[in-house]
Amino acid sequence: MTGTRRLSAAKSKSLFALLAAVGALAATCSKAPAEAALKAADQAVASARTEGEKFAPEELEALMDAAKSAHEKFGHGDYAAAKASADAVVAEAQDVEKAAAAKKEEVTKAWGDLQAQVPAMGDTIRARVDELAAMKKLPKGFDVARLEEAKAGLAAFDQAWGGAAAAAQSGDVISAAEKGRAARAKALPTSARANAHGRPWSGSSTQAARSWRWPQFSSR
C-alpha cells in the first residue's frame, strides 16, 4: 500500500513537472514574438517623435503612454497582451505621423501667407510714417501726438515681426505663424493711426498687401 502511494506521488510529481515544462515552453514561445513586437513599437515611437513633438504633442504623449503600457505587460509576463498592445502602438504611430504631417503643412502654409503679406504692410506703414515725419505741417486731422502713436505702433510691429522671423529661422514654424499673426494684428491699428482718415489696412490677401497704397494727403 505504501509502495502504491509512493508510485502515485511520483507520477503526480512527474505530471506537475511535465505541465511546468510545457508552460515554460509556451511562455518562451510567446515571449520572443512579444519582444520583437515591442522592438518594432519602440522604433515606431522614435520615428513618430521626430515631428510629433513639434506638431502633434498630445497625440505623441498618448502614443508613448501606450508603449509604456505594452512594456509593463511584458514585465508582468503577459506576453500575449504585450504583443497585442505593441502591435497597436505601431499602427497608432502611423496615425501620429499623419497628424503631425498635416499640422506641419497647415502652419507652413500659414507662415508662407504671412511672409507674403505682413512685411508689405509694414513697409507701407513705415513709408507713410516717414512721409508724415518729414512734413513741416501735418495734414488736416492729424497731429503730433497721433504721429508719435503711429511711430510707437510701428516699433511694436517691427519687434513682433522680428520675433516671428527669428522663430522661423530657428525652425519653429508654429511659433513663427503665431507671432506673425500677432504682428499682423499690430499693423492694423497702426495703419489707422498713420492715416489721416483713420482707415486701417483692409486687404487680407497677398495681392491686396502688394497693391494697397496710402491715400495721398496734402500738407496744406
Handedness of CA 198, 183, 121, 208 (dihedral sign): negative
Calculate ∠ Cα 163-119-196, nearest 5°: 110
Residue 189 · residue 156 · CB < 8 Å: no
Q: Which of 84, 72, 67, 109 is closest to 33 using CA atoms?
A: 84
SS3 content of the chain, % helix, strand, coil (to 5): 85, 0, 15
Q: Which of 115, 122, 131 is closest to 153 using CA atoms?
A: 122
pLDDT beyond 50 at 206:
no
pLDDT beyond 70 at 210:
no
The torsion of the CA quartet 72, 75, 78, 81, rounded to 10 degrees, works out to 30
Type and span of the H or E element at 132: helix 79-134
Cell reading at 115: 511672409
For the chain, which residues make up each domain, given as ranges? 12-102, 105-211
pLDDT at 13: 55
pLDDT in tens, 55-74: 999 999 999 999 999 999 99
Residue 156 CA, distance from chain mean position: 26
Cα 10 to Cα 17: distance, rounded to the nearest angstrom: 10
Mean pLDDT across the chain: 81
- Which position has the higher pLDDT, 124 or 24? 124
Question: For the whole model, what pTM was predicted?
Answer: 0.67
pLDDT in tens, 31-49: 999 999 999 999 999 999 9
The torsion of the CA quartet 15, 18, 24, 25, rounded to 10 degrees, works out to -140
pLDDT beyond 80 at 177:
yes
pLDDT at 143: 84
pLDDT at 1: 52
Count CA within 13 A, CB hemisphere, residue 175: 13
